[in-house]
Structure formats: C-alpha cells, structure tokens
Amino acid sequence: VRNLLRHVRNLEAYEQPFSLDAKGQVRGNHWGFERLVGAVGTANFEIRGDLALDGSKSRTELTLDLTIPNLAEIGTVDGRRFNEQALSLSAHAV
C-alpha cells in the first residue's frame, strides 16, 4: 500500500497491516466488482459495480464507500501529521 501511495507528492504513509478481499472479473478494459473490500490499519473501503477503462462510459457504474476513523494514523505530508479527525466518503460514478 505504501508503494501505491508513493506517487502522492510529499506523503509519507505509515506502515500498517492491510487486507483485500475481492469477487469479480476482469475482461480486457472492463472490470466488474461484485464486491471489493479492503482495510489499511483502521481505515476501510468497499467498491461495487463496473468500470470501463477504455473511455466508454456505457459500462461504468461504480459505488465507493470509504471510512477513515483517524486521519492522523495515515502518515505525514511535508513532515506534518494530519489532524486527528475522521473522514467518510461515499461516491457513485456513472
């Protein structure tokens, strides 16, 4: 996970346990998620739906739910910790 986040400029992510559980299919540029659930430390996310990576919007309908109980547990940006506060996000992309 830290490797994925290294592209976020000036972010130093703390080492944390993570898990990922997915059920779906990948066919070329089309990804279908019946359920994709992950956790990093105390943060967790869930993704459901279809994602067309070929620019075709006809098959894209994706739902994302993200919960981070404490942003300060993520890491630092420019050497400074995030404030101790929760973040919750729900999105539906069509």
Specify the DSSP class assigned to residue 4: H
Q: Would you kindly state where each structural domain of the chain is located, as residue ranges?
A: 2-93
77 touches 11 (CB < 8 A): yes
* Residue 11: HSE in the Cβ half-sphere, 13 Å Cα cutoff: 18
Q: What is the pTM (predicted TM-score) of this model?
A: 0.78
pLDDT digit string (tens) for the chain, length 94 residues:
666 666 777 888 899 999 999 999 998 888 999 999 999 999 999 999 998 888 766 678 999 999 999 999 999 988 999 999 999 999 999 8
